[in-house]
Amino acid sequence: MKGRIFKSTGSWYEVLAENHKRYSCRVRGKFRLDEIKESNPVAVGDHVIIELENDIGSITEILPRRNHILRQSVKRTGHASVLAANVDQVMLLATFKQPRTSWGFIDRFLVAAESFRIPQLLVFNKKDILTQDQLEELLPILNRYESFGVSTMIISAGFDDDISNVQKMLEGKATLVAGHSGVGKSTLLNRLSPIITQATNNISDFSDKGTHTTTFAEMFELNEHTFIIDTPGIKEWGLVNMEPPEISDYFPEMRDLRLNCKFGARCLHINEPKCAIKEAVEDNQIILSRYESYLSMALGLDNRK
């Protein structure tokens, strides 16, 4: 019987089967997908084949994935962690303060999605605590992100009007929602549907950071055609299996310009002469923080927290 993984709790998985019933399942045997070392080879969103015995299921096969979102495993060196599979778009919930989400973290998340050409939504929460000066600083940057294909929005998760705008962005799609702990992800999801009752916590006054309230990835069905995947709060984002020469391909504003570099596809846009990317940064065609994010990825530096 076919089904889809709706919840992962380590060794057990909740599967919504094609008969519209949910079953607790365990993996039979070991899986290896696409020759990638994955700390969790079965992920929320995966389409699977299950066999039942007394309403307990065994996952016997993982069907081919359309895409997946990977990051470096924080527990197992050299392994990847799969946040979700077979998604239509990803939403990164960020905050300008309390806690502040770094542009390095944002860009790493967007690059990971762009590597599979998955559409991206960048939503800044807690608009109600921003000053007018802070809004005027944030809006032009988001307009630049919009210019290369990232959909953006500034919201306060506690306000009804903002929620309706988010619902429109999610309608008819399977969306992975990610973000640091404390950005209001659980608050937003609880507002989107009465069936979602994720725990929420306040920000620590000492560290200005949130505490983890979501432990495992889980998919929720908002309606017959709309699904959201909640993920545990993420402190940092490490890229997986990306070589320096290919990284600029995942920056849409660099993708076409790089063809004009003197050394073409061999240009790393770091110290090479007549580099079209560096010239575009100097001319403000590319945001300086985006170029700095690119450098941190290409050089193996760390600006992701």
CA nearest 226: which of 185, 186, 200, 196? 196
Segment 167-186 shows an average pLDDT of: 93
How far is Cα 277 from Cα 291, in angstroms, rounded to an integer? 9
Using 50, 70 and 90 to split pLDDT, how confident is the model at 30?
A: low
pLDDT for 64-76, tens place per residue? 999 988 876 655 5
**Cα distance between residue 3 and residue 15, in whole Å:** 6
DSSP H or E stretch at residue 169: helix 160-170
Instruction: Give tens-digit pLDDT for 209-221.
Output: 444 444 578 999 9
Q: How far apart are CA 6 and CA 173, in angstroms?
A: 15
Q: What pLDDT does 300 receive?
A: 85
Amino acid symbol at 54:
N
For the stretch 63-66, contacts whose Cβ atoms lie closer than 8 Å and that sit 24 or more positions apart, written own/partner, are 63/2, 65/33
Residue 141 burial by Cβ neighbours in a 10 Å radius (0-12, 13-18, 19+): middle
Q: How confident is the model at residue 48 (pLDDT cuts 50, 70, 90)?
A: very high
Contacts of 274 (CB under 8 A, 6+ apart): 261, 262
Q: Give me 233's structure tokens.
A: 């709060």
User: Which range (5-14, 15-24, 137-146) has the least confidence?
Assistant: 5-14
Q: What is the CATH number of domain 244-298?
A: 1.10.40.50
Weakest mean pLDDT among 85-99, 198-212, 215-229: 198-212
**Alpha-helix residue ranges (DSSP H) falling in 171-298:** 185-192, 244-247, 252-255, 276-282, 288-298
pLDDT at residue 282 in the model: 96
Structural fold of domain 2-65 = OB fold (Dihydrolipoamide Acetyltransferase, E2P) (2.40.50)
Identity of the highest mean pLDDT range in 198-202, 237-241, 250-254: 250-254
Average pLDDT over residues 217-238: 82
User: Which segments within the chain are labelled E, that is strand?
Assistant: 2-8, 13-17, 22-27, 47-53, 56-62, 68-72, 80-85, 89-95, 120-125, 151-154, 174-178, 218-223, 226-230
Distance CA 71, CA 39 (A): 10
Q: How far apart are CA 215 and CA 93, in angstroms?
A: 17
State the architecture of 69-230 in CATH terms: 3-Layer(aba) Sandwich (3.40)
| Maximum average pLDDT range among 106-120, 157-171, 220-234 | 106-120
Which pLDDT belongs to residue 304?
47
How do the domains of the chain map onto residue ranges? 2-65, 69-230, 244-298
pTM of the entire predicted model:
0.87
Higher-pLDDT residue of 99 and 232 is 99
Per-residue pLDDT, averaged over 56-82, amounts to 79
